[in-house]
Structure 1
Amino acid sequence: MGSLAIDTEDVDSDIYLTLGLKGLGKGAVGTPRILSILASLLEKSVEKNDMDSETVDIKDGVAIFHGLRAPTISIQQYIDRIFKYGGCSPSCFVIAYIYVDRFVQQTNVHLTSLNVHRLLITSVMVAAKFIDDAYFNNAYYARVGGVSTSEMNRLEMKFLFSLDFRLQVSVNTFQRYCSQLQKESSEGLQIERPIRACGIKESWSSKSDNTCAPTIAR
């Protein structure tokens, strides 16, 4: 079980308040702003990639995440549903974003309308298991996500192996992702430029990485 404190002295509390990560714990009433920010980022990434879908190859190793057709539920509605019924903390959605970012880098997969929903439910479930003290089982998350339990199990295992089971996220990395998410939001989530986030390679290397790298707008 992992642990990630978001109120330590070396983080910017104002950013966490802006994103809705503080003051909205598990079971609290209200919708944290992080949900709409992530939905907007993912929707714009998917829109761009869907336009280039003819040139995007589906990798055999991660084909399990690709559906035959795009779900009718929007990304925003899907994220809201996961938050409403998943019972996880708002911080799980930042961790899930980091995990998906690592996943697309490791697998060179492009986010599309055919895979983004499965990646979302899988990454949030894995994040909840890693950082929350209590969480629902795979069968419950399968119902929330609209997949079968057996499929949910397969998605989880493929996701974990694709990440090499590297789930740890340092406070520094978490802070930098939050800062970049807040920045993207304040700048209007411009689709014309690549979405970038700082510090994403920190967990893959023992070296300090203070640079920015391409993220899940792929």
Structure 2
Amino acid sequence: MPLKYEDCDVKDLGVLVSDMLLELVRHNDSLPLKDGQLTRFHSRAPPGISISDYLNRLITHASLTPPLLLSMVYYIDRLCALYPVFTISSLTVHRFLIAAATVAAKGLSDSFWTNNTYARVGGVTTRELALLELEFLEKMQWRIVPKPEVLRDYYKSLVERGEGYVMEKEDDDNDTNDDTNDDISTPVTSSSGKGKESEEPVKEVDMTER
């Protein structure tokens, strides 16, 4: 994996994130659910789509970039710290992901889709997504923009724990990227307006039954 998270293949990063999520889910699903620990992110039963397939769906159809994916990982730690009853489990992970993707895109990108598109991609209604988004922002205390060094730390940690992935050596990176040092300020994503409506057909996934 490249030293800079901005240069990594988003699908490779998606594999690392989904593997990490699976570990969290396995651990938290083994713990008993106590009364009063249900949140807006809980489903009645685990959705029929796997975590890896769902995350890949968001990456593909919601145009997630490496900075957005890493921000979503950062949100897990921050949300769990600020909202102790919340945990990543098979009942919460899917709704967390679509809410986190929506919030990250709007908070970090100059260009993002409409809520109607995110809802269709995520398999929830537009109304439910709006409620999830508001709940997410309130529990996060509206602080949703992580520092670049925080994202670098999360990226490094994901690569180190991922099976079959290693970080390239710094000397190799310097040799191949000497001509990129002039770029002082690169936006997280390209700027081309906001609130876009996706024209690409998206296969339906349904998570509305709770």
Tell whether the structures are fold-level matches, with TM greater than 0.5. Answer: yes
- In structure 1, the partner of 2:75 is 99
Cα separation, 2, equivalents of 1:56 and 1:37: 30
Greater C-alpha radius of gyration: 2
1:65 alignment partner, SS class: coil
Deviations 1:55-102 (A, max 9, x none): 445535xx1100111001000000000011002322211011111221
SS at match of 1:15: coil
Counterpart selection for 1:159 from 123, 132, 136: 136
TM-score (norm 2): 0.72
Counting only pairs closer than 5 Å after superposition, residues 78-93 of structure 1 correspond to structure 2 as 78-93=54-69
Shift of 1:105: 1.3
Judge conservation of contact 1:56–1:110 (CA < 8 Å) in 2. Answer: no
User: Aligned-pair distance for 1:153?
Assistant: 0.1
Select the residue among 32, 38, 48 that pairs with 2:11: 32
Instruction: Give the SS at the match of 1:32.
Output: helix
Counterparts of 1:139 and 1:74, CA distance in 2: 22
Q: Extract unaligned runs of 5+ from structure 2.
A: 166-210
Could you tell me which amino acid in structure 1 is paired with residue 92 of structure 2?
N
Root-mean-square deviation over aligned CA pairs: 2.0
Cα displacement (A) at 1:168: 2.1
Q: Which amino acid aligns with 1:185?
A: G
Q: CA deviation at 1:139?
A: 1.2
Q: Match for 1:65: what amino acid? A: F
Partner amino acid, structure 1, of 2:78? R
Q: Pick the aligned partner of 2:7 from 19, 22, 25.
A: 22
In 2, Cα distance between the equivalents of 1:111 and 1:123? 12
Amino acid at match of 1:50: D
Aligned partner of 2:37 among 41, 59, 79: 59
Matched-pair contact (CA < 8 Å) for 2:75–2:100: yes
Q: Distance in 2 between matches of 1:58 and 1:90?
A: 35
Residue in 1 that maps onto 2:191: none
d(CA) in 1 for partners of 2:24 and 2:49? Answer: 17
Q: Which residue of 1 aligns with 2:53?
A: 77
C-alpha spacing 1:56/1:40, structure 2 compared with 1 (3 Å): farther
How far is 1:36 from its partner? 0.5
- Is the 1:50–1:113 Cα contact (8 Å) retained in structure 2? yes
- Identify which of 107, 129, 150 aligns with 1:173: 150
Contact 1:89 1:132 in 2 (8 A): no
Q: Any idea what the Cα deviations from partners look like across 1:172-191, whole Å, max 9, x if unmatched?
A: 11111111111111588xxx
How many percent of aligned residue pairs carry the same amino acid? 28
Q: 1:57 to 1:100 in 2, by over 3 A?
A: farther
How many matched pairs? 164
Contact 1:86–1:141 at 8 Å: present in 2 too? yes
CA deviation string 1:101-124 (max 9, x = no partner): 211111112211011000011101
Unaligned runs of 5+ in 1: 1-12, 25-30, 189-218
Q: Does 1:133 align with 2:121?
A: no
Structure 2 counterpart of 1:97, one-letter code:
V
TM-score, structure 1 normalization: 0.70
